[in-house]
């Protein structure tokens, strides 16, 4: 947090299949895995290009019988475009690899549509809701130079992870 690359709008990618983008995707993946994150954007590794990746959450039965959303398959998006599908928002906890040691309660659109290209040159067009929609909005914000504390409406819920032992750790 505070690095200039994280604060500015990232540059579009001319060719999603170019070798430098393939290398960027590998670097992002290595960093995300090493840091134990479930999502990452290129500006978080100091590269101001419009590339994000995240694990697509899957709904699963939790041990308590409730439905939990867990990290599923990896999705990589070049030049993503994001639109909300309704005005409805919900507040939930987020962490970020670029804001270490902290978590915050962030309002996000419940339902979004995102499009973009894969590094293989395929077009993606997906509607997402819940945690899936939250993850996409968080990563897309990184391309606009926005970190989650800027989206928060109640700064009393910006807390040290160590002070909040009931929340699961999923960095974005
Ligand atoms: Ni983040």
Give whole-number Cα distances, 6 to 11, 46, 49, 52, in Å.
12, 8, 11, 13
Kindly state the percentage of the chain with pLDDT values over 90. 83
Catalytic positions, please?
139
pLDDT tops 90 at residue 53: yes
Mean pLDDT, residues 68-96: 95
Domain ranges of the chain: 4-171
**How remote is the CA of residue 83 from the centroid of ligand 1, in Å?**
19
Give the alpha-carbon dihedral of 119, 129, 142, 35, to 10 degrees. -80
**How remote is the CA of residue 99 from the centroid of ligand 1, in Å?**
7
Are 119 and 17 a contacting pair, CB within 8 Å?
yes
Fold assignment, 4-171:
Peptide Deformylase (3.90.45)
Question: How does DSSP classify residue 86?
Answer: S
Question: What's the pTM value of the predicted model, to 2 decimals?
Answer: 0.94
């Amino acid at each position: 947090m505070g690095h200039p690359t994280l604060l500015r709008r990232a540059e579009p990618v001319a060719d999603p299949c170019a070798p430098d983008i393939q290398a960027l995707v590998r670097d992002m993946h290595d960093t995300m895995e090493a840091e134990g994150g479930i999502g990452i954007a290129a500006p978080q590794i100091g590269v101001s290009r419009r590339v994000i990746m995240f694990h697509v959450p899957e709904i699963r039965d939790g041990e308590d019988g409730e439905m939990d959303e867990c990290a599923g398959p990896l999705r990589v998006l070049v030049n993503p475009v994001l639109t909300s599908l309704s005005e409805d928002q919900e507040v939930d906890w987020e962490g970020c690899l670029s804001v270490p040691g902290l978590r915050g309660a962030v309002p996000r659109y419940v339902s979004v549509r995102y499009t973009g290209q894969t590094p293989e040159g395929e077009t993606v067009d997906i509607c997402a809701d819940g945690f899936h929609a939250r993850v996409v909005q968080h990563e897309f914000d990184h391309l606009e130079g926005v970190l989650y504390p800027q989206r928060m409406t109640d700064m009393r819920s910006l807390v040290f992870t160590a002070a909040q032992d009931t929340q699961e750790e999923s960095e974005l």
